[in-house]
Chain A
Amino acid sequence: NAGVTQTPKFQVLKTGQSMTLQCAQDMNHNSMYWYRQDPGMGLRLIYYSASEGTTDKGEVPNGYNVSRLNKREFSLRLESAAPSQTSVYFCASSSGTGFGGELFFGEGSRLTVL
Protein backbone atom coordinates (compact mmCIF):
# COMPACT_ATOMS: atom_id res chain seq x y z
CA ASN A 1 0.00 0.00 0.00
CA ALA A 2 1.96 2.99 -1.30
CA GLY A 3 -0.44 5.80 -0.24
CA VAL A 4 0.25 8.94 -2.31
CA THR A 5 2.99 8.68 -4.93
CA GLN A 6 4.50 11.70 -6.67
CA THR A 7 6.83 11.83 -9.65
CA PRO A 8 9.37 13.17 -10.29
CA LYS A 9 10.99 13.71 -6.89
CA PHE A 10 13.45 16.27 -8.25
CA GLN A 11 13.40 18.44 -11.37
CA VAL A 12 15.41 21.35 -12.71
CA LEU A 13 13.86 23.51 -15.42
CA LYS A 14 14.89 26.56 -17.36
CA THR A 15 12.61 29.59 -17.42
CA GLY A 16 9.88 29.08 -20.00
CA GLN A 17 10.02 25.29 -20.07
CA SER A 18 6.95 23.24 -19.28
CA MET A 19 6.48 20.14 -17.20
CA THR A 20 3.87 18.01 -15.49
CA LEU A 21 4.00 16.70 -11.94
CA GLN A 22 2.21 13.40 -11.55
CA CYS A 23 0.34 12.18 -8.48
CA ALA A 24 -1.48 8.92 -7.80
CA GLN A 25 -3.18 7.59 -4.67
CA ASP A 26 -4.25 4.04 -3.94
CA MET A 27 -6.52 4.70 -0.94
CA ASN A 28 -9.73 5.13 -2.97
CA HIS A 29 -9.96 8.75 -1.79
CA ASN A 30 -12.33 11.15 -3.50
CA SER A 31 -10.52 14.44 -2.88
CA MET A 32 -7.02 15.35 -4.07
CA TYR A 33 -4.92 18.48 -3.62
CA TRP A 34 -1.78 20.19 -4.82
CA TYR A 35 0.16 22.39 -2.37
CA ARG A 36 3.41 24.27 -2.57
CA GLN A 37 5.69 24.81 0.40
CA ASP A 38 8.16 27.67 0.51
CA PRO A 39 10.45 28.73 3.38
CA GLY A 40 8.65 31.09 5.74
CA MET A 41 5.36 30.76 3.85
CA GLY A 42 3.87 27.50 5.01
CA LEU A 43 1.75 25.25 2.82
CA ARG A 44 -0.38 27.03 0.23
CA LEU A 45 -3.09 25.40 -1.81
CA ILE A 46 -2.70 25.60 -5.59
CA TYR A 47 -5.67 23.53 -6.82
CA TYR A 48 -7.88 20.84 -5.47
CA SER A 49 -10.35 18.29 -6.79
CA ALA A 50 -13.23 17.41 -4.48
CA SER A 51 -14.26 14.49 -6.66
CA GLU A 52 -13.49 12.91 -10.00
CA GLY A 53 -14.33 15.34 -12.78
CA THR A 54 -14.15 18.54 -10.71
CA THR A 55 -11.30 20.94 -10.01
CA ASP A 56 -11.18 24.26 -8.15
CA LYS A 57 -8.63 26.98 -7.70
CA GLY A 58 -6.90 27.42 -4.38
CA GLU A 59 -4.92 30.30 -2.95
CA VAL A 60 -2.12 30.46 -5.55
CA PRO A 61 -3.37 29.01 -8.90
CA ASN A 62 -1.70 31.43 -11.34
CA GLY A 63 0.77 29.75 -13.68
CA TYR A 64 -0.59 26.26 -13.06
CA ASN A 65 -3.15 23.92 -14.58
CA VAL A 66 -4.45 20.62 -13.26
CA SER A 67 -6.12 17.51 -14.59
CA ARG A 68 -8.06 14.96 -12.57
CA LEU A 69 -7.41 12.07 -14.93
CA ASN A 70 -9.46 9.55 -12.94
CA LYS A 71 -10.17 8.85 -9.29
CA ARG A 72 -6.57 7.85 -8.60
CA GLU A 73 -4.59 10.46 -10.51
CA PHE A 74 -4.26 14.24 -10.26
CA SER A 75 -1.59 16.02 -12.29
CA LEU A 76 -0.18 19.55 -12.02
CA ARG A 77 1.18 21.29 -15.12
CA LEU A 78 3.45 24.28 -15.39
CA GLU A 79 3.03 25.66 -18.91
CA SER A 80 5.85 28.21 -18.83
CA ALA A 81 7.97 27.86 -15.71
CA ALA A 82 9.19 30.94 -13.86
CA PRO A 83 11.83 31.25 -11.10
CA SER A 84 9.02 32.16 -8.67
CA GLN A 85 7.72 28.62 -9.11
CA THR A 86 10.84 27.17 -7.50
CA SER A 87 9.35 25.30 -4.58
CA VAL A 88 8.53 21.94 -3.05
CA TYR A 89 5.22 20.63 -4.36
CA PHE A 90 3.07 18.23 -2.38
CA CYS A 91 0.14 16.20 -3.56
CA ALA A 92 -2.38 15.07 -0.96
CA SER A 93 -5.63 13.17 -0.77
CA SER A 94 -8.51 12.77 1.65
CA SER A 95 -11.64 10.64 1.93
CA GLY A 96 -15.06 12.22 1.42
CA THR A 97 -16.08 14.56 -1.36
CA GLY A 98 -15.70 17.85 0.45
CA PHE A 99 -12.59 19.77 1.46
CA GLY A 100 -11.02 17.54 4.07
CA GLY A 101 -8.72 18.25 6.98
CA GLU A 102 -7.18 14.83 7.48
CA LEU A 103 -4.90 14.83 4.48
CA PHE A 104 -2.47 12.15 3.35
CA PHE A 105 0.56 13.68 1.67
CA GLY A 106 3.09 12.40 -0.81
CA GLU A 107 6.81 12.85 -0.24
CA GLY A 108 7.05 15.94 -2.41
CA SER A 109 8.53 17.05 -5.72
CA ARG A 110 11.38 19.50 -5.50
CA LEU A 111 11.38 21.87 -8.44
CA THR A 112 14.07 24.41 -9.30
CA VAL A 113 13.49 26.91 -12.11
CA LEU A 114 16.65 28.64 -13.35
Chain B
Amino acid sequence: EDQVTQSPEALRLQEGESSSLNCSYTVSGLRGLFWYRQDPGKGPEFLFTLYSAGEEKEKERLKATLTKKESFLHITAPKPEDSATYLCAVQRTNQAGTALIFGKGTTLSVSS
Protein backbone atom coordinates (compact mmCIF):
# COMPACT_ATOMS: atom_id res chain seq x y z
CA GLU B 1 0.00 0.00 0.00
CA ASP B 2 1.25 3.47 -0.88
CA GLN B 3 2.16 5.42 2.21
CA VAL B 4 3.69 8.78 3.12
CA THR B 5 4.80 9.32 6.72
CA GLN B 6 6.04 12.58 8.16
CA SER B 7 7.97 12.96 11.38
CA PRO B 8 7.92 14.41 13.87
CA GLU B 9 4.26 15.40 14.11
CA ALA B 10 5.24 18.58 15.94
CA LEU B 11 8.53 20.37 16.42
CA ARG B 12 9.33 23.31 18.66
CA LEU B 13 12.51 25.29 17.99
CA GLN B 14 14.14 28.38 19.32
CA GLU B 15 14.91 31.08 16.81
CA GLY B 16 18.23 30.21 15.14
CA GLU B 17 18.09 26.52 16.14
CA SER B 18 18.46 24.52 12.92
CA SER B 19 16.67 21.19 12.42
CA SER B 20 15.18 18.82 9.84
CA LEU B 21 11.76 17.45 9.04
CA ASN B 22 11.43 13.98 7.58
CA CYS B 23 9.13 12.53 4.93
CA SER B 24 9.45 8.81 4.29
CA TYR B 25 7.49 7.05 1.57
CA THR B 26 6.66 3.64 0.18
CA VAL B 27 5.12 3.97 -3.27
CA SER B 28 5.53 2.21 -6.57
CA GLY B 29 6.18 4.36 -9.59
CA LEU B 30 7.45 7.56 -7.96
CA ARG B 31 7.13 10.55 -10.28
CA GLY B 32 7.96 13.35 -7.88
CA LEU B 33 7.97 14.54 -4.28
CA PHE B 34 6.50 17.90 -3.29
CA TRP B 35 6.78 20.07 -0.20
CA TYR B 36 4.07 22.51 0.84
CA ARG B 37 3.73 25.05 3.63
CA GLN B 38 0.35 25.62 5.29
CA ASP B 39 -0.36 28.54 7.61
CA PRO B 40 -3.30 28.30 10.06
CA GLY B 41 -6.60 28.94 8.32
CA LYS B 42 -5.01 28.99 4.87
CA GLY B 43 -4.57 26.61 1.98
CA PRO B 44 -1.26 24.83 1.37
CA GLU B 45 1.36 26.80 -0.55
CA PHE B 46 3.72 24.98 -2.89
CA LEU B 47 7.43 25.13 -1.95
CA PHE B 48 9.54 22.55 -3.82
CA THR B 49 9.49 19.70 -6.31
CA LEU B 50 12.10 16.92 -6.24
CA TYR B 51 12.23 14.29 -8.96
CA SER B 52 15.25 12.08 -8.39
CA ALA B 53 17.47 10.82 -5.58
CA GLY B 54 20.29 13.23 -4.84
CA GLU B 55 18.35 16.27 -5.97
CA GLU B 56 18.32 19.35 -3.72
CA LYS B 57 16.30 22.56 -3.83
CA GLU B 58 16.75 25.70 -1.69
CA LYS B 59 14.64 28.69 -0.84
CA GLU B 60 15.76 31.15 1.79
CA ARG B 61 16.27 29.17 5.03
CA LEU B 62 14.77 25.97 3.61
CA LYS B 63 16.54 23.18 1.75
CA ALA B 64 14.81 20.03 0.54
CA THR B 65 16.69 16.83 -0.29
CA LEU B 66 15.59 13.48 -1.68
CA THR B 67 16.84 9.90 -1.34
CA LYS B 68 15.26 6.71 -2.66
CA LYS B 69 13.16 6.26 0.46
CA GLU B 70 12.79 9.67 2.10
CA SER B 71 13.05 13.41 1.84
CA PHE B 72 14.28 15.94 4.35
CA LEU B 73 13.33 19.56 4.74
CA HIS B 74 16.24 21.26 6.45
CA ILE B 75 15.55 24.55 8.19
CA THR B 76 18.62 26.66 8.88
CA ALA B 77 18.50 29.36 11.56
CA PRO B 78 14.69 29.47 11.60
CA LYS B 79 12.71 32.60 12.42
CA PRO B 80 9.26 32.86 14.03
CA GLU B 81 7.75 33.51 10.61
CA ASP B 82 8.79 30.00 9.58
CA SER B 83 6.16 28.63 11.98
CA ALA B 84 3.65 26.63 9.94
CA THR B 85 2.63 23.10 9.08
CA TYR B 86 4.84 21.55 6.40
CA LEU B 87 3.24 18.95 4.16
CA CYS B 88 4.96 16.38 2.00
CA ALA B 89 3.22 14.81 -1.00
CA VAL B 90 4.32 12.02 -3.29
CA GLN B 91 3.12 11.67 -6.87
CA ARG B 92 3.06 8.13 -8.15
CA THR B 93 2.04 6.50 -11.40
CA ASN B 94 1.36 2.78 -11.71
CA GLN B 95 -1.30 0.48 -13.11
CA ALA B 96 -3.79 1.99 -10.66
CA GLY B 97 -3.27 5.41 -12.21
CA THR B 98 -1.65 8.63 -11.11
CA ALA B 99 -2.20 9.94 -7.60
CA LEU B 100 -0.80 12.55 -5.25
CA ILE B 101 -0.53 11.16 -1.73
CA PHE B 102 -0.16 13.63 1.13
CA GLY B 103 1.44 13.03 4.48
CA LYS B 104 -0.23 14.32 7.64
CA GLY B 105 2.29 17.11 8.10
CA THR B 106 4.76 18.41 10.66
CA THR B 107 3.71 21.46 12.66
CA LEU B 108 6.71 23.68 13.30
CA SER B 109 6.71 26.33 16.02
CA VAL B 110 9.64 28.74 16.23
CA SER B 111 9.86 30.99 19.26
CA SER B 112 11.97 34.10 19.64
Q: Which residues of A contact B (CB under 8 A)?
A: 4, 40-45, 90, 92, 98-108
Contact = CB atoms under 8 A, between A and B. Distances in A.
A99 B98 contact: yes
Q: Interface SS of chain B: helix, strand, loop or mixed?
A: strand
Nearest to B45: A105
Given A99-B99, A99-B100, A43 B45 contact: no
Interface residues of B, number: 21
B98 A98 contact: yes
B104 A101 contact: no
B100 A107 contact: no
B34 A42 contact: no
Given A42-B103, A101-B89, A102-B49, 20 more contacts: A4-B43, A42-B104, A43-B44, A43-B102, A44-B102, A45-B99, A98-B98, A99-B97, A99-B99, A100-B100, A101-B49, A103-B44, A103-B46, A103-B100, A104-B46, A105-B43, A105-B44, A106-B43, A107-B41, A107-B43
